[in-house]
Structure 1
Amino acid sequence: LQPVDLVEPGLVKRIRGTAISCRVPPSSTGRVAHSAKGLLQRLLPDIWIHTDVHNKSKTGKSSPSLSLVVRAESTTGCVWTAECCLDSSEARGSELPEDLGQRGAAMLLEEIRRGGCIDTTAQSIVLLLMCLGPEDVARIRVGTISQYTIASLRLYKQVLGVEFKVKADHDTKTVLLSCLGTGYRNMAKAST
């Protein structure tokens, strides 16, 4: 394995997504996708948001739901994601499908605006992979560090003994995190 080295976010080159519905009118997913694309196409032409409608017969007694997952990819291979959904109480009419699409697109744009090479929800898992990676320096640039990520950093220090160097970049308003991996190997795996 190669150590993680994601320090240049690059420019957004494409956006992909899926609008998903269950036990709501099938047109709702199209409305979600259309409103999300409407906001995002002001900035980028390469946007595809697919729709996925689940039939009532396949889902059984599940509650009505509507959700949107969108992903932006950059020229350097960085990925930002955002997801939002209506729970069963919201699905009864307090929020329109168009509002859900706008909210999901705005969440994605906020993740991109924060800078960094990954989104806020993926920070802790990427940092764990950096800890378990080869005995070499791994670096990543993130936007705002979430409270969950801070708790994860403390846990990684206690359990794995890995300390991260945290360096704030005031020019880009991002944070550069680096660590020395542990070189973890699966010793139970049979060798050939």
Structure 2
Amino acid sequence: MAGCQDVIVIDGGMLEGGGQILRNSAALSCLLGQPVTINNIRAGRSNPGLRPQHLMGLQLIRDICGGKLTGDRVGSTEITFHPGPIKGGSYQADTKTAGSICLLMQAAMPCLLYGDGESVLSLRGGTNAEMAPQVDYTIMVFNPMAEEFGMTSDCDIRRRGYYPKGGGEVKITSYPTKKLKPVSMTTRGEVTKVNIRSFVAGALTIKVADIMARCAVDTIQQVYKDVAISKDVVKEPEHAAVGTGTGIIIVAETSTGCLLAGSALGKKGVPAEKVGTDAAQMLLDNLAHGGCVDDHLQDQFILLMALAEGKSEVLCGPITLHTKTAIHVAQLLTKAKFEIKKLSDNSNVIECAGIGLVNSRLP
């Protein structure tokens, strides 16, 4: 595959039609040495083309492999990427906005798995941003669950950054792997524990975080009366946060080691009670379908399943549009075979025969 120089053209407006197509396509292009052109970028959005955070993600992947990227400017609706060999090292990216650090991580971290050594990413932007997973989700859910594939990294939040200023900073240390293992996650087990992190920063008082946490506990206990719930109610210190922000993330642990989450961010005019209740309801919805992963993890696992050696299977809820998009891109570029087995209206198993990509840069 690495020797194939025919450029594969990907329609950036298909299915979900957003930044995810860019991230997954560019990451797989980098990993496989396969040039790509992505056109119709975010064609259906109110402001089509590349936004600053998408641009930074693409340029970060370019830097990691010393590739050639054309069309890389804000507003561009077509880019072409010719990847080079992945190199471990230190890399930086700054959205210069409240653009999500987590979405930069989603783009870069799979690439660094196949580097020639340990890598360090220093990323700046929004740590807890709308329309993206919170950085706490990456630390509390994605990283521990992705370790099942053999993907390991450390994540250090240096400073939190909130909308509209951003200014957060996260340092990630990524450890390379020879190849990823398949996973079998088909038994959810019982919910054994729930962990809540409720936070405020800037001008808000800790009372707001306490109200969110209490309302979340009340909502969860209506369904899970006897499950232990731990609360971490935090006012971020001034030196550790830029701007004023508030939010909550709730993670359920199960007897088989599954982690599922719900989260919400505070907004002007939205009562703290509603923020806490909304996050708890999102968790309850994710638990109700009986799957081993929540909606966010469902699509983030697709790329790892495609790269792993052998057959992976993951029990999940309804298949999201993000997941359908991720599968489409993965099949197009990797030739991994995916199959969705429908168990009921709310329950599916995603199966994948992965390509077993080997890291030739490690001995």
TM-score for both structures, normalised by structure 1: 0.87
Q: Which amino acid aligns with 1:12?
A: V
In the aligned structure 2, how far is the partner of 1:133 from the partner of 1:50? 35
Q: Which amino acid aligns with 1:165?
A: E
Query: Is 1:45 the counterpart of 2:219 in the alignment?
Result: no
In the aligned structure 1, how far is the partner of 2:237 from the partner of 2:256? 39
Query: Is 1:34 the counterpart of 2:218 in the alignment?
Result: no
In the aligned structure 2, how far is the partner of 1:57 from the partner of 1:13? 35
How many positions carry a matched residue from both structures?
181
8 A contact 1:30–1:51 mirrored in 2: yes
Query: Cα offset for 1:153?
Result: 0.4
Q: Which amino acid aligns with 1:122?
A: L
Match among 155, 161, 176 for residue 329 of structure 2: 155
After TM superposition, what 4+ stretches of structure 1 lie above 6 angstroms from structure 2?
none
Q: Unaligned 5+ residue runs, structure 2?
A: 1-179
Query: Is 1:188 the counterpart of 2:361 in the alignment?
Result: yes
Match of 1:4 in 2: 183
TM-score for both structures, normalised by structure 2: 0.48
Q: Which of the pair has the greater relative contact order for Cα pairs under 8 Å at 6+ separation?
A: 1
8 A contact 2:249–2:264 mirrored in 1: yes
Q: Which amino acid aligns with 2:311?
A: V
8 A contact 1:71–1:80 mirrored in 2: yes
Match of 2:200 in 1: 21
8 A contact 1:41–1:47 mirrored in 2: no
Match among 338, 341, 346 for residue 173 of structure 1: 346
In the aligned structure 1, how far is the partner of 2:192 from the partner of 2:239? 39
Match of 2:277 in 1: 102
In the aligned structure 2, how far is the partner of 1:106 from the partner of 1:180? 34
Query: Cα offset for 1:115?
Result: 2.5
Match among 312, 320, 334 for residue 138 of structure 1: 312
Query: Is 1:75 the counterpart of 2:75 in the alignment?
Result: no
8 A contact 1:8–1:141 mirrored in 2: yes
Cα distance, 1:154–1:40 mapped onto 2, change above 3 Å: same
Q: Unaligned 5+ residue runs, structure 1?
A: none
Q: Which amino acid aligns with 1:149?
A: T
In the aligned structure 2, how far is the partner of 1:79 from the partner of 1:59? 27
Match among 301, 304, 321 for residue 129 of structure 1: 304
Query: Cα offset for 1:45?
Result: 3.2
Q: Which amino acid aligns with 1:35?
A: C
Match of 2:51 in 1: none
In the aligned structure 2, how far is the partner of 1:25 from the partner of 1:46? 26
8 A contact 2:343–2:349 mirrored in 1: yes
Query: Is 1:115 the counterpart of 2:290 in the alignment?
Result: yes
8 A contact 1:71–1:108 mirrored in 2: yes
**3-state SS, counterpart of residue 351 of structure 2:** strand
Query: Cα offset for 1:15?
Result: 0.6
Query: Cα offset for 1:58?
Result: 4.5
Query: Cα offset for 1:56?
Result: 3.8
